[in-house]
Amino acid sequence: MRRRKTPRPPPAPLIIRGVTDLPLTGGCACGAVRYEITEPLLSASYCHCTRCQRRTGTAASAQARVKPGSLTWTQGRENIGAWTPEGGFSKAFCKSCGGQLYSCDPEDPDTTIGIRLGTFDGDPGIRPQKRNHVASAVSWEPIPDDGLPRFDAGG
């Protein structure tokens, strides 16, 4: 077995205190959809599943779980479209620019929202703490050796 020459870096702290003021704000690429989050985010992760790869056009999707009741659509709620794959979470996007906004459990959409980290205006005050669905990871971009826990499926 090959041993590492240097130790893995410790994972980033889950919550970055003092970095972010509430409310958190963000939106889509064209600005038609805007939101505000009034409570700190609960958790964050990377997803390497094939659906996220195809939805984003990237190797992984970064998202954060929102505390139920803390998300308000401040502009363009009527401009949000969604696709719900069989057996999967609904994927919401801006109908104008196609910008990915969030995913949610179609059976419980108000309590299982995962907002895309790339939609925040500033630092969301949280860092991904795990990597899910690494068994589906793409071959053309190796998963970084960042010390985050890895799960073959959801974690």
97 neighbors 34 (Cβ within 8 angstroms): no
Sign of CA dihedral 106, 103, 152, 11: negative
Please check the confidence at residue 8 and state whether its pLDDT lies above 70: no
- What is the band of 2 on the pLDDT scale with cuts at 50, 70, 90? very low
Q: pLDDT tens for residues 42-99?
A: 999 999 999 999 989 999 999 999 999 999 999 999 999 999 999 889 999 999 999 9
- What is the band of 1 on the pLDDT scale with cuts at 50, 70, 90? very low
All structural domains of the chain, each given as residue ranges with its CATH number in brackets, are 26-136 (2.170.150.70)
Mean pLDDT of the chain: 89
Contacts for 73-82: CB closer than 8 Å, 24+ residues apart: 73/33, 73/34, 73/35, 74/25, 74/34, 74/35, 74/36, 75/27, 75/32, 75/33, 75/34, 76/27, 76/28, 76/32, 76/33, 76/34, 77/33, 79/32, 79/33, 80/33
pTM for the structure as a whole: 0.85
Radius of gyration of the chain (CA): 16
Sign of CA dihedral 4, 154, 15, 103: positive
